[in-house]
Structure 1
Amino acid sequence: MSGPDSEAGAGWKELRADEGSAGKRLDQWLATALAPEFSRSRIQALIREGAVTLDGRVVSEPKRKVSMDETYRIILPEPETPEPQGEDIPLEILYEDDALIVINKPAGLVVHPGPGNWTGTLVNALIHHCGESLSGIGGVRRPGIVHRLDRDTSGVMVVAKSDHAHRLLAAAFADHGRDGDLERAYVALVWGAPHRASGTIDVPLGRSSSDRTLRSVVPAGRSDARHAVTHFTVLERYGPGNPGEQIASLVECRLETGRTHQIRVHMAHIGHPLLGDPDYGRAFRTKVNRLPPELAQKVATFPRQALHARLLAFRHPETGRLMHFEAPIPDDMRELLDGFASL
């Protein structure tokens, strides 16, 4: 905690470390002192942005150990709203009852609020659409969310509207459907074409050593390694050549596990990253030069990874009925596929 002589001014605050604070991480100490207005992740971001100084010098390392009697000044932005508010954001609803709602999420829609995206998310839309039926489910910032899609991945999602539905659906997704009827199928437009018509990618994933927001294939013995299995089937091959030599292909991916960025990392691992993937497909950007000018322009300006959650099936948590939902490939991906089909 801060010492008794902490003080604040307009837009800033000074905190002096007492004996009990010595040895603590700077981000931990500040987050405790400034709770609940500022989360630890928000404090870390402010430190990295140069908002924290010690004796007039910027401190940019969140892990720095605090020493007794050190006085830190932190520039405080307006605190962000801790609870999301309802917003009138259009939803494409595939099904809805008192227990759950199934939507076709568009690319570009963030699922739940977080740093940099406190508004305009699916959660904001759900709060507006469902009202109080979402309260208390899954935490204030993630009401009813039992699984998620990346911001730039489109397709089918289910959201719980009751506590009972939330518990059972969350358990089904946590179990990855091994003991139930959960089924998830995605379609991805990837660079190149696997030699085999189908296959399984079974390699563990963990945090990337270069960017903690990304994932990478890691040794099974690493502390953060998570079992990850993707089954793929080649649906279409584009361009001349023998199997494995084409310029691109449309692949269906079925998840046996559900790790962050799993399909994107796994497909890149076998040499076939998704078109438009800004994180895992950078090394393949020059392949656009092999395309006809019109298609090359479309690929170069495609604003997201070409990934769509086509199918979701699960057992209804209230009725026990097997539910099956599909969403057609969206127009932006369809336009790319039509271009590749003409090669």
Structure 2
Amino acid sequence: MNTRRNPKDTAKRGAKPDSAAKSQPKQGFKGSHKPNSRPADKVKAPLPAKLYPVTEPAELLPFLLTHITGRGRNAIKSILSRGQVSVNGKTTTQHNLQLHPGQVVAIDQEKQAPPEELIGLTIVHEDEDLIVIQKDAGLLSIATAEETELTAYYQLMEHVRLANPKNRIFVVHRLDRDTSGLMMFAKSERIQQLLQTTWKETVKERSYVALVEGAVKHPEGTISSWLKETSTLKMYSSPHEGDGQHAVTHYKLIQMNRHFSLLEVHLETGRKNQIRVHMSDLGHPIAGDKKYGAETKTVGRLGLHARVLSFTHPATGELMIFESPIPKTFLKYTAPSSSN
């Protein structure tokens, strides 16, 4: 069964559901106490958590929707987002957490947990083995030794440690800082190594959309070259066959005007800056990519977005397919209109 996820359908962590918002007292309202009223009631003892044994495999949110009566879908999602649900004693906010027979789901509606805030990324999918995110342009995937700013890696590490301080995440692949789109992280070293050692067989599709300068003449094509790196860390295509890492990029034209073209790009190999180098070799550098010859700054970002990520789940064998919408800016600048 294919699993399709669209980041637009996934709410960003940290957003407070309306049902969770507390009503604020009106200004000027003051509490009153009548002298002859009876003494205040004793503070009620906290209600015990409700327990729901798991008898068959299910995802957490559908399980809750089945077992909690009298509450709507949004109300139940709010209970999850507030950290009031635990599985075998471990708090979780994962809607798609896989449940197994023998586990016990507990709901403690009196428990309050601070909302999580993730900056520059959205969690699209999470299970026991991996996390798939959509990263915004401008956010580092992971910091180098010289960089100390906020990264996707750091935020996800903090995210998984909310459930257990010993939890960790592991880098599987990266996106350049100015590239947006889909990427994944492993939640164990075993899954990380399994994905990396079987990457070519496991990953079924990695496709991007590229906003490039100029009008691309051919509706589709393939670029093949051998990539090398300079002492200044810039990649380039070697003129000599076999001199460097072999890189193959396929592209297909989506739409264009005389200033910009929008391409669908498929990677046959995954080399550093591969698309950026190959688009420059094509004579149509990615918009905003000054490092590889772009002359335009109109877009305000690098015109590259990781749109589709499809792979075989390393633990379950299930085919996972994730799609992200084309950035509206890319569509705007390539619209076939005379105003462009």
Short-chain TM bin: 0.5 to 0.7
How far, CA to CA, are the matches of 2:313 and 2:256 in structure 1?
Answer: 36
Q: Going by fraction, where is helix more abundant, 1 or 2? A: 1
How far, CA to CA, are the matches of 1:221 and 1:123 in structure 2?
Answer: 36
Pairing 1:71-110 to 2, within 5 Å after superposition: 89-90=118-119, 91-110=121-140
Closer, same or farther: CA 165–226 of 1 in aligned 2, 3 Å = same
The Cα RMSD (Å) is 2.5
Shift of 1:334: 4.4
Give the TM-score normalised by structure 1.
0.59
What amino acid is aligned across from residue 110 of structure 1 in structure 2? L
How big is each residue's C-alpha offset from its partner over 1:241-292, in whole Å with a ceiling of 9 and x where there is no partner? Answer: xxxxxx321111100001111001001001111111120124xx2xxxxxxx
Shift of 1:170: 1.2
Closer, same or farther: CA 151–196 of 1 in aligned 2, 3 Å = same
How far, CA to CA, are the matches of 1:183 and 1:201 in structure 2?
Answer: 17
Pairing 1:91-130 to 2, within 5 Å after superposition: 91-130=121-160
Matched, 1:272 2:284: yes
How big is each residue's C-alpha offset from its partner over 1:186-238, in whole Å with a ceiling of 9 and x where there is no partner? Answer: 00111123322111101111013xx5221011134576x11000001111121
Secondary structure in 2 matching 1:164: helix
Pairing 1:145-156 to 2, within 5 Å after superposition: 145-156=171-182
Pairing 1:202-213 to 2, within 5 Å after superposition: 202-208=224-230, 212-213=232-233
Contact 1:134-1:144 within 8 A present in 2 as well: no
How far, CA to CA, are the matches of 1:147 and 1:123 in structure 2?
Answer: 11
How far, CA to CA, are the matches of 1:232 and 1:124 in structure 2?
Answer: 33
Higher Cα Rg, which structure? 2
Which residue of structure 2 aligns with residue 302 of structure 1?
A: 299
Which residue of structure 1 aligns with residue 312 of structure 2?
A: 315
Closer, same or farther: CA 313–281 of 1 in aligned 2, 3 Å = same
Give the TM-score normalised by structure 2.
0.60
Closer, same or farther: CA 272–279 of 1 in aligned 2, 3 Å = same
Secondary structure in 2 matching 1:227: strand
How far, CA to CA, are the matches of 1:191 and 1:217 in structure 2?
Answer: 19
Structure of higher RCO (CA pairs closer than 8 Å, 6+ residues apart): 2
Shift of 1:148: 0.6
Which residue of structure 2 aligns with residue 76 of structure 1?
A: none
Which residue of structure 2 aligns with residue 170 of structure 1?
A: 196
Which residue of structure 2 aligns with residue 185 of structure 1?
A: 207
Closer, same or farther: CA 181–261 of 1 in aligned 2, 3 Å = closer
How far, CA to CA, are the matches of 1:303 and 1:313 in structure 2?
Answer: 29
Closer, same or farther: CA 127–136 of 1 in aligned 2, 3 Å = closer
Q: Any unmatched runs of 5+ in structure 2?
A: 1-115
Contact 2:123-2:131 within 8 A present in 1 as well: yes
Shift of 1:136: 8.9
What amino acid is aligned across from residue 281 of structure 2 in structure 1? H
How far, CA to CA, are the matches of 1:99 and 1:341 in structure 2?
Answer: 49
How big is each residue's C-alpha offset from its partner over 1:82-139, in whole Å with a ceiling of 9 and x where there is no partner? Answer: xxxxx953331111001000000100000111144223011111111112879797xx
Secondary structure in 1 matching 2:278: helix
Which residue of structure 1 aligns with residue 220 of structure 2?
A: 198
How far, CA to CA, are the matches of 2:334 and 2:251 in structure 1?
Answer: 18
Closer, same or farther: CA 315–135 of 1 in aligned 2, 3 Å = farther
Identity over aligned pairs, percent = 41
Matched, 1:159 2:159: no
Shift of 1:163: 2.6
Contact 1:230-1:254 within 8 A present in 2 as well: yes
Closer, same or farther: CA 101–217 of 1 in aligned 2, 3 Å = same
How far, CA to CA, are the matches of 2:137 and 2:298 in structure 1?
Answer: 15
What amino acid is aligned across from residue 248 of structure 2 in structure 1? V
Pairing 1:212-227 to 2, within 5 Å after superposition: 212-220=232-240, 225-227=244-246
